Amino acid sequence: MPELSQEKLQLLDEIKNLSPQMREIASAIFAEPELGYQEFKSSARLADFLEANGFHVERGLLGMPTAFHASFGSDDGPQVAFLAEFDALPGLGHACGHNLFGTAACGAAVALARHLPSGAVHVFGTPAEEGNVRDAGGKVPMADAGLFDRMDAVIAAHAEGRTILKQQLISRANLEMDFTGKAAHAAGAPEKGINAMDAAALAVMGINSLRQHMTPDVRIHGLLTDTGTSINTIPAFARLRYGVRARKPETLNNAIERVVNCARCCAHALGCEFSYRHSAHSYYTMRHNMPLLRAFAANLDLLGEPYIEEVSSSYSTDMGNVSFKAPSIHPYITIGGAQLVGHTPAFAEACNSESGFNGMLLAAKAMSMTGYDVLTDEELRRTSRNAFENLDDLN
């Protein structure tokens, strides 16, 4: 096994010294879970930690009150960014590990800043990654604004039951489709009403019929909501909330069009008015940068952490949008065993456990070491940039 360089040993020492504070921050964020764009305490804890360690911090980035950009170093030379998530899930709290891995990103950045060889290290605090709040996906406006364009590497890590280099993530859109009819007494004058709930229910059946004609990578799932409270009144309004997922953005767009057309036709068939909107930013699939992933894997080898090269999944994340703007990686680190499944009570329990803290520290170590590689290895920067620019198909 290759030996750790003196420089990387120094990074590991920094993570060790920071670990009590990192555990404290991760536990505090876990204890007070906050939903997307409401992560005021969680975001402040991470931003304060970075500011106390010499980072210049810009808060309220792009008008998002809990987003931030922290930087340390010079605009001249190579640039490395770590991304920190901190939102929780409704009802489950931190059942996705953001309390751990947002803290890991900040710890990695502080360790690297203390031994910065050149250039700069950045941390972007990215709110609302979970797709359960309106306009979810804080990384999307950041990517659209060009904040990642000049980065030589953008590095994020995520909690998982196993340590995995590469998950085949897929694109995703959230839709709200509204049906507006006309209220009437359901027994006394039903002929005067237009039933929005029936139109929406018909649309559900129509959308279900679409599935057999979709490619295997497409996922369509949703809810019928807001249909009224009185059974003796014809519902004048109903809403469908649907998620649509697909491997490639162009496949996603085609699937969205077919779902919306189906719902619109069902609305018109029953005489309802129809409208729809994207209730969250569309998430793109992940363009994995293989030179950066190989560097990350080499550092896992140095740390003695076994990993799985690649798995297929139907997960989605706004990190995919970032990967269309700069060389990016999004590996997964184990927090307690292959049996763990995200977005469950058991996963939440692991996110405030000793195994969870160990995964957080492992991620911080591997992230800081990979950041160091990017800042010091011109060949790595060249090959990762070439891979980014020449990636015609999604790997």
pLDDT digits (tens, 9 = 90+) for 330-350: 999 999 888 899 999 999 999
pLDDT digits (tens, 9 = 90+) for 298-314: 999 999 999 999 998 87
pLDDT digits (tens, 9 = 90+) for 216-230: 889 999 999 988 889
What's the pLDDT at 312? 85
Give the mean pLDDT of the chain. Answer: 95
Q: CATH 3.40.630.10: which residues of the chain?
A: 6-167+285-389
What's the pLDDT at 388? 96
Reported as a pLDDT band with limits 50, 70 and 90, residue 49 is very high
Span 79-104, mean pLDDT? 97
What's the pLDDT at 247? 87
What percentage of the chain has pLDDT greater than the value 70?
Answer: 99
pTM over 0.75: yes
The pair phi, psi for residue 168, each rounded to 5°, is -80, 85
Name the fold adopted by 6-167+285-389.
Aminopeptidase (3.40.630)
What's the pLDDT at 241? 95
Say whether pLDDT at 1 is over 70: no
Span 49-68, mean pLDDT? 98
Q: CATH 3.30.70.360: which residues of the chain?
A: 171-278
What's the pLDDT at 84? 98
What's the pLDDT at 386? 96
Q: In terms of CATH architecture, what is 171-278?
A: 2-Layer Sandwich (3.30)
What's the pLDDT at 392? 55
pLDDT digits (tens, 9 = 90+) for 269-309: 999 999 999 998 999 999 999 999 999 999 999 999 999 99
What percentage of the chain has pLDDT greater than the value 90?
Answer: 89
